């Protein structure tokens, strides 16, 4: 063998053999160059680059773009493998679409063999913001609330929450041209929302714990909610005239009420100590109540949102009987003529026991119970004068569980006579040819009466009209008058004696 042949043989034996193409696997031994699966922002990217063969054995290194990241590799001689395990920890969002390159080389004569993985990343939302945070909102009014989020890949899911409860089906979501997400919530606040937080939450659905939130504390304005109660230590079914009573008005409102008013049967009450009406903050005190104090009470509170009226509370006052009509009644009667005397009282409770008395010339006599009938608050006495001594004053008294009537109802029975003149006759309507005249009746003398009006022409005093009516109060309509003529109107009465 010549020297040349020996040299050639040695060269043949020392020829460099390039390695095979690198193969990149992930932690699950999957070929990452064939997988379309994104990594989550903040996670670790763990890759294995394996290279088979090569003489001499190759160097296997990792680059992130053009930056050398890892040149620690191991050679497995039994398997003819060269392996580089690379971990890119806490992958950052700016690495999106960056190239991870595994490069294998065993000489300087041929270009290195390489394989590339392009980083596909799921990104967390960067921002979320409620754009329309009103300082105050009004209850039961509609508001469009906007929330915008940016930075998420894929697009973030926006949800709305009120307190700890999710609001569903009343928001619309949009994707804007720059990739931001926008959600518009149709919000109708209610009173119970005051002080609660409205939260807009943006979350990447494929990244756990990626949610960002923006909160808005709701300041809900509403008209006063007013509740009225009678004093807690009072029994509403056991209040008698002379007792003191108080009410408590509870007001819930935002903003605070600037006015509080009290009403009795719809009429506003005012502070009046002499009348026993004391207004103090949210309470009403009524001193020494009477039957006139009874009725419905309400309180009203007002703020800039409106006026709120409480529930009515009915004050029931128990009192002794009193005459329904305070006037004395005058009755004229013939001897042996029976007149019906009707005594009506107001009382609470209305279960009333009656007593009648007769007085003439200072002698007071009690009328036997058998002479009159009573029912609830009415007692009727059929009275028949027989002699002159039977004319006089009859008094009706009542009493109930509260006490005795203080002032009786009075009936004067007198001998029947002429009726008293009409009073307050007034021309209420006058035209060129008519008159409308109204009068008030007076004592009828104890007998039915007819009312008459005569129209006399002046100065001749010639009778032109004669009109009579039987009903009271008397009303006269006179027609057919001649324009330019002067008349005199005379009213007369006559009694009708029963036969």
Q: Rg for the chain (alpha carbons), in Å?
A: 54
Pairing of strands 295-303, 306-309: antiparallel
> Which residue in 48, 116, 33 sits closest to 84, CA to CA?
48
Quote the CA–CA distance of 272 and 278 in Å, as a whole number.
Answer: 6
Beta bridge partners of 427: 437
Quote the CA–CA distance of 249 and 337 in Å, as a whole number.
Answer: 60
SS3 136: coil
> Which residue in 145, 153, 136 sits closest to 200, CA to CA?
145
Cβ of 46: how many Cβ atoms within 10 Å?
15
Nearest 10 degrees: Cα torsion 379, 383, 388, 393: 10
What are residue 292's phi and psi, to 5 degrees? Answer: -70, -15
What pLDDT score was predicted for residue 3?
A: 33
What are residue 117's phi and psi, to 5 degrees? Answer: -120, 125
Q: Yes or no: say if 45 and 119 are a contact pair by the CB < 8 Å rule.
A: yes
Domains (ranges, CATH) in the chain? 16-122 (2.60.40.10), 127-218 (2.60.40.10), 224-317 (2.60.40.10), 320-415 (2.60.40.10), 423-495 (2.60.40.10)
Tokens of 329: 């009644």
Q: What is the full per-residue pLDDT of the chain (499 aa) written as tens digits?
A: 333 333 333 334 467 888 999 999 988 888 887 777 899 999 999 999 999 998 899 999 999 999 999 999 999 878 889 999 999 999 999 999 999 999 999 987 788 999 999 999 999 999 999 999 999 999 999 999 999 999 999 999 999 999 999 999 889 999 888 889 999 999 999 999 999 999 999 999 999 999 999 999 999 999 999 999 999 999 999 999 999 999 999 999 999 999 999 999 999 999 999 999 999 889 999 999 999 999 999 999 999 999 999 999 999 999 999 999 988 999 989 999 999 999 999 999 999 999 999 998 778 899 999 999 999 999 999 999 999 999 999 999 999 999 999 999 999 999 987 777 888 888 888 888 888 888 888 777 766 778 888 878 788 887 877 888 887 788 888 888 888 778 777 766 544 433 3
> Which residue in 428, 435, 429, 431 sits closest to 454, CA to CA?
435
Quote the CA–CA distance of 83 and 25 in Å, as a whole number.
Answer: 11
What pLDDT score was predicted for residue 1?
A: 38
Quote the CA–CA distance of 141 and 191 in Å, as a whole number.
Answer: 11
Quote the CA–CA distance of 343 and 354 in Å, as a whole number.
Answer: 9
Quote the CA–CA distance of 55 and 40 in Å, as a whole number.
Answer: 39
CA angle, 325 as apex, 274 and 498 as ends, to 5°?
165
What pLDDT score was predicted for residue 2?
A: 35
Quote the CA–CA distance of 403 and 379 in Å, as a whole number.
Answer: 18
Quote the CA–CA distance of 433 and 481 in Å, as a whole number.
Answer: 4
Cβ contacts of residue 174 below 8 Å, gap of 6+? 181, 182, 183, 184
Quote the CA–CA distance of 40 and 207 in Å, as a whole number.
Answer: 6
What pLDDT score was predicted for residue 142?
A: 96
Quote the CA–CA distance of 228 and 299 in Å, as a whole number.
Answer: 7
Q: Yes or no: say if 22 and 49 are a contact pair by the CB < 8 Å rule.
A: yes
Half-sphere exposure of 353 (CA within 13 A, CB side): 7
Quote the CA–CA distance of 280 and 256 in Å, as a whole number.
Answer: 17
CA angle, 211 as apex, 198 and 168 as ends, to 5°?
45
The one-character DSSP state at 324 is S
């Amino acid at each position: 063998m010549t020297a040349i042949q020996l040299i050639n043989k040695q060269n043949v034996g020392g020829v460099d053999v390039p390695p095979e193409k690198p193969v990149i696997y992930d932690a699950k031994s999957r070929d990452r160059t064939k997988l379309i699966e994104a990594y989550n922002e903040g996670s670790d990217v763990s890759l294995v680059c394996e290279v088979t063969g090569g003489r001499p054995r190759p160097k296997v290194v990792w680059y992130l773009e053009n930056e050398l990241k890892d040149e620690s590799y191991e050679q497995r001689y039994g398997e003819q493998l060269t392996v580089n395990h690379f971990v890119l920890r806490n992958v950052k969002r700016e690495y999106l679409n960056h190239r991870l390159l595994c490069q294998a080389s065993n000489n300087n004569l041929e270009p290195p063999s390489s394989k590339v993985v392009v980083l596909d990343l799921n990104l967390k939302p960067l921002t979320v913001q409620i754009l329309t945070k009103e300082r105050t909102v009004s209850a039961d009014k509609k508001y469009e609330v906007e929330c915008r989020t940016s930075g998420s890949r894929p697009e973030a899911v926006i949800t709305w929450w009120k307190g700890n409860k999710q609001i569903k089906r009343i928001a619309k979501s949009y994707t804007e041209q720059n990739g931001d997400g926008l959600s518009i919530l149709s919000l109708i606040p209610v009173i119970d929302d005051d002080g609660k937080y409205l939260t807009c939450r943006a979350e990447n659905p494929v990244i756990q714990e990626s949610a960002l939130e923006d909160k808005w504390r709701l300041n809900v304005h509403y008209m006063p909610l007013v509740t009225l109660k009678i004093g807690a230590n009072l029994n509403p079914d056991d209040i008698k005239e002379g007792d003191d009573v108080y009410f408590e008005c509870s007001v819930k409102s935002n903003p605070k009420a600037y006015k509080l008013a009290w009403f009795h049967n719809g009429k506003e009450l005012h502070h009046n100590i002499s009348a026993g009406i004391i207004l103090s903050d949210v309470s009403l005190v009524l001193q020494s109540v009477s039957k006139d104090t009874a009725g419905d009470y309400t309180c009203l509170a007002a703020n800039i949102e409106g006026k709120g009226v409480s529930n009515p509370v009915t004050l029931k006052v128990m009192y002794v009987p009193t005459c329904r009509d305070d006037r004395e009644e005058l009755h004229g009667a013939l001897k042996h003529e029976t007149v019906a005397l009707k005594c009506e009282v107001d009382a609470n409770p209305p279960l009333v026991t009656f007593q009648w008395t007769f007085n003439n010339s200072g002698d007071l006599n009690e009328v036997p119970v058998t002479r009159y009938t009573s029912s609830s608050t009415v007692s009727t006495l059929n009275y028949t004068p027989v002699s002159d001594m039977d004319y006089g004053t009859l008094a009706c008294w009542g009493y109930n569980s509260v006490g005795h009537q203080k002032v009786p109802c009075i009936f004067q029975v007198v001998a029947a006579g002429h009726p008293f003149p009409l009073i307050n006759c007034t021309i209420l309507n006058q035209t060129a040819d008519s008159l409308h005249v109204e009068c008030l009746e007076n004592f009828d003398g104890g007998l039915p009466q007819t009312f008459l009006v005569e129209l006399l022409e002046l100065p001749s005093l010639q009778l032109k009209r004669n009109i009579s009516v039987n009903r009271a109060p008397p009303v006269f309509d006179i027609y057919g008058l001649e324009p330019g003529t002067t008349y005199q109107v005379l009213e007369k009465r006559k009694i009708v004696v029963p036969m």
